[in-house]
Structure 1
Amino acid sequence: MAPRLVLVSGAGGAGRSTLAAATAALAAESGERVLLVAADDPHRSVDGLLGHRLGPEPLRIAFEPGLFALRLDEQTAFRAAGVRLLERAKGLFDLLGVEPLEPEELTALPGASHLALLDLLRSYGRSDSFDLVVVDAPPVAQLVAALALPEQLDAYLARLLPDERQAARALRPVLAGLAGVPMPSQWLFEARAWASAELADIRAVLRAPGTGIRLVTAPPAGPRARAELLRARAGLALHQLPLESLLVNRVPVDRTSVDRPSVDRDSGELDLLRAAWDVPVHSVPDLGREPERVDLGELAEPAALVTWTDTPARAAADWRVEDRLGTPERVLVWHIPLPGGERGDLELVRRGDELTLGVGCYRRAVLLPSALRRCTVAGAALRDGVLTVRFAPDPSLWPASLG
């Protein structure tokens, strides 16, 4: 059985590493086998919290028998992925007379951290060694960029090497017999099939029911901070990434009260967040000092413990097409859930069979459903967190009986 996957993201300094470690420790304390991944921890704060120096392999944490942890090493991950790719391309190198690189010659390229994270999610997201995998993930913009890669790369592959061209495969044995060597195009299609399978594995992990993202923030101070949070929410929604909850960290508490030791001093900001967000908003009390290993269990009350370990991840909302052709409007309407989106941040461009959507710094190009490809964009509106795009049938492409 595949483990549940929790990605803990948030702005730098918000305390996501601490809450990721606390989530993993609390789950392990409840009897689960948990893997904590320090995927974005340049200063090794997770090492300090756990009292162990982490490496690229899972290490059992002494104070909690069911807890294991590792540190994402992009150089090691890049080299392992490069070796796999070189092994698959060996025949092509032999054909071209090229000497392949040695593993020691492979050095991580810019952007390799995204690929390393995806490869780790693919490996441990399908493993039955753990019940839960908690990832101390990069900030939201970087995390979205990484998690959007499989879809983007698969779209590029489909455009460069479309499936229709594989119909020529029947001719390749004849051409190979005449030339005496395998045709290079065969390697291209084999590489395309292999890459597509790898990308499909990653996308399956991200879409699994047990996968969720938890966004960590410091107590927002005013409308500007709340607006920035909502833009992050919109970016996750744009890519249909399953946000499970918002954790407001280091909330000041009144520790002089005996009956309610965790009363929020600034409950007004939390109330505004809870009213504006479509996912649960939880507060994490401020300890009044830097957290240590012994504090991990104190960062959450029993109710938060249940929420962190047992609540299924919120499913990414579907984008549905509504048929209004039989109404006076005579349009098809594409409903795109976009909670947190603001009209001023929105961009929408139609290019051929694709629709490019933008919300702030987030972009996504999506293939139009088949019926909408034969239509023209007639308008769009953003209301109550849902973008509706209206499509009118193109008379030159739409069947006359329906037009």
Structure 2
Amino acid sequence: MVIGPGGAGVSVTAAAAALGPTGRRRERGTAASTSGASRMGAPDRDTLLITVDRHSPSADLLGVYHLPGEPVAVSDRLHLLALDRLALLEDTWSEFTSVLSETMRRSRITLPGLGALADIDAGEIATLPGVEDFLVLRRIRDEAVSGQWRRIVVDGSGLGDPFEFLRASSVLSQTLDRLWPRHRRLAAAAERPVMAQLTAAVDAIDGDCRDITELVTDPHSVAVHLVVGADDRGERLLPHFLATADLMGLALRSVVVNHGVADGRSDEDRGTRLRAAVRSDGADVEIAEIRCVDDRIDRAARLRRLGVALPSPNGVARGSGAADVHEVTDSQVLDGPGPVYRLSWRQRLPEPDGLRLGRSGDDLLVTVGGFRHPVRLPSVLRRCVVTDATFDGAELAVTFEPDPALWPKGR
């Protein structure tokens, strides 16, 4: 997954990575060389490049027609899938509201907000924040688990804030649980069978949210690549992007420094500072650089000359995705009647004064640099209350003590 601020060259980097560097050739086996389909040049489904930007230049760069919602063959190994966010939204919402309307027609049960939801037309649904992002992520998830592709490259340009996009599924799941908690949904379906179809539809959405959240943060399946320009803006934004990636537990594998943005002039001092910012915590994150080229990047051959090769997932969890829970044995901390637990992970904090902590159900709400993200608590901590938090310059540690109202007696 390739992300970065607008204008940093995210689309070019993603397209170049999907194509592969100059000199890469398809490996053909005996079966392929004797296959009629291969001799006729029928494309294989090897790599899929997905773009979620309605104004993405990827189709023009790769020299193919723009066909939203359908994979288009670019070469014998690469397909391009341009997702139409509005079309996904309208199709899915129409299906959901038909189920909702039918359930309400057959039932005398009135649930808060459902009548208003059923009356919203598909053409109006764009006013609901986060829904488009969830549907786009779900389509990406469906392609990823379809078994048709060896590799998928997601071009995250045109998203505004890419982290808001990536957390859309967790926010939507949290909203569903607030509006209609799962235990109430199940109870409604058990008591009134007419509600079963509606609860199944809501459960399916909630299940998709959880699947997507797990997939986006799975270091064995996903590698996140951050593209920044070698300019003042890139240098200013990089620490904040790295901090947000830590908070979300994203499997950041590389930072790509693009020297082709801004005035196109290389600044070695700035490049040194950018590399130092990435390596400051000693994490296993590679640094790649795209040098400024004289030719205009307007075709596949010139994309290949950039030599972009993004590292694959390595299975190493980072940030909150690698959070550790342990029972505190320090006698200076153990001044209460029960055990004390500490949740900690490596977290960058470019603005330590901007750190905020809160609690919402089973989630710890952490705010870093104005970005708030729900970190799901392990089961043992869900029956505890937050008592303290510390930051030693590299690691964020949150201390918990049992909630007397929820903790089993005698423990």
| C-alpha RMSD over aligned residues | 3.6
Q: 2:67 aligned with 1:47, yes or no?
A: no
Q: 2:252 aligned with 1:243, yes or no?
A: yes
> Which amino acid in structure 1 is aligned with residue 327 of structure 2?
D
Write out per-residue CA displacement over residues 3-51 of structure 1, whole angstroms, 9 at most, x where no aligned residue. xxxx111111111111110001118955471111221252x42222112
SS in 1 for 2:258: strand
Say if 1:356 and 1:365, in contact at 8 Å, map to a contact too: yes
Output the TM-score relative to the length of structure 2. 0.76
Say if 2:342 and 2:397, in contact at 8 Å, map to a contact too: yes
> Which amino acid in structure 1 is aligned with residue 181 of structure 2?
P
What does residue 231 of structure 1 align with? Answer: 240
Write out per-residue CA displacement over residues 208-261 of structure 1, whole angstroms, 9 at most, x where no aligned residue. 42212111011144xx85352111111122122222210001269xxxxxxxxx
Greater displacement, 161-170 / 341-350: 161-170
What does residue 229 of structure 2 align with? Answer: 218
CA distance, structure 1, for counterparts of residue 316 and residue 298 of structure 2: 30
> Which amino acid in structure 2 is aligned with residue 85 of structure 1?
F
Q: 2:47 aligned with 1:34, yes or no?
A: yes
Q: 2:367 aligned with 1:349, yes or no?
A: no
Taking structure 1 as reference, are residues 71 and 324 closer, same or farther at Cα in structure 2, changes over 3 Å only? same
Give 2:170's match in structure 1, choosing from 151, 156, 171. 151
What does residue 143 of structure 2 align with? Answer: 124
Greater displacement, 239-248 / 225-234: 225-234
Write out per-residue CA displacement over residues 252-300 of structure 1, whole angstroms, 9 at most, x where no aligned residue. 9xxxxxxxxx996865334423432631111111113431322111112
SS in 1 for 2:161: helix
Say if 1:121 and 1:205, in contact at 8 Å, map to a contact too: no
What does residue 324 of structure 1 align with? Answer: 328
Taking structure 1 as reference, are residues 340 and 227 closer, same or farther at Cα in structure 2, changes over 3 Å only? farther
When the two structures are aligned, how many residues end up with a matched partner? 366
Displacement, 1:140? 7.5
CA distance, structure 1, for counterparts of residue 196 and residue 135 of structure 2: 28
CA distance, structure 1, for counterparts of residue 332 and residue 408 of structure 2: 18
CA distance, structure 2, for counterparts of residue 367 and residue 105 of structure 1: 32
Give 2:210's match in structure 1, choosing from 171, 192, 200. 200
What does residue 91 of structure 2 align with? Answer: 80
The equivalences for 1:4-403 within 5 A come to 7-26=1-20, 29=24, 31=26, 33-40=46-53, 42=55, 44-56=56-68, 57-61=70-74, 64-89=75-100, 91-92=102-103, 94-95=105-106, 106=123, 109-110=126-127, 111=129, 113-138=132-157, 142-165=161-184, 166-167=186-187, 169-172=189-192, 182=194, 185-208=195-218, 209-221=220-232, 225-250=234-259, 267-276=271-280, 278=283, 279-293=285-299, 294-300=301-307, 305=309, 308=310, 310=312, 312=314, 314-316=316-318, 317-325=321-329, 327-330=331-334, 331-350=340-359, 354-393=363-402, 401=410
SS in 2 for 1:127: coil
CA distance, structure 1, for counterparts of residue 160 and residue 345 of structure 2: 20
CA distance, structure 2, for counterparts of residue 361 and residue 139 of structure 1: 21
Taking structure 1 as reference, are residues 321 and 67 closer, same or farther at Cα in structure 2, changes over 3 Å only? same
Write out per-residue CA displacement over residues 312-354 of structure 1, whole angstroms, 9 at most, x where no aligned residue. 3653432221201463322321103323554122111345664
CA distance, structure 2, for counterparts of residue 385 and residue 135 of structure 1: 30
Output the TM-score relative to the length of structure 1. 0.77
CA distance, structure 2, for counterparts of residue 113 and residue 160 of structure 1: 19
What does residue 337 of structure 2 align with? Answer: none
